Amino acid sequence: MSQAPAPETPLEKLDGVDPALLDALRSRWITSVEQLVAQGATPEGRSSLAALLEIEAERLDALLAQARAILEPGAVADLEKPHPDDKGMGALEPPS
């Protein structure tokens, strides 16, 4: 029997985030603290996110630090792990 996925943490748990920024995140399909942390896990992700949200890098870094502090350390580590290289068009890794 598989275990149900853990519920995601709503963005509203972040203190001091104005409604316009919440709307901007949601319009980019970022609807949870976990998704925000995962999107900001790489320098490229942070740069893209800051540009899309039209905020300064320092503001994004503060937002990400707050998001990480809300989550369990193990969850943050999992979310910030790099994904394996793209394996082509399929969802499965090619046979070795």
pLDDT above 70 for 92 = no
Do the domain assignments include residue 6? no
Do the domain assignments include residue 65? yes
Tokens standing for residue 85 = 């290289």
23: burial class by Cβ within 10 Å (0-12, 13-18, 19+)? exposed
Which pLDDT tens digit goes with each residue over 25-53? 999 999 999 999 999 999 999 999 999 99
Which pLDDT tens digit goes with each residue over 60-72? 999 999 999 999 9
Higher pLDDT pick, 76 / 92: 76
Range of the domain at 56: 11-79
pTM attached to this predicted model: 0.79
Alpha carbon distance 4, 56 (integer Å): 37
Kindly report the CA angle at 15 between 10 and 20, in degrees rounded to 5?
75
Number of independent structural domains in the chain: 1
R_g of the chain, CA atoms, integer Å: 15
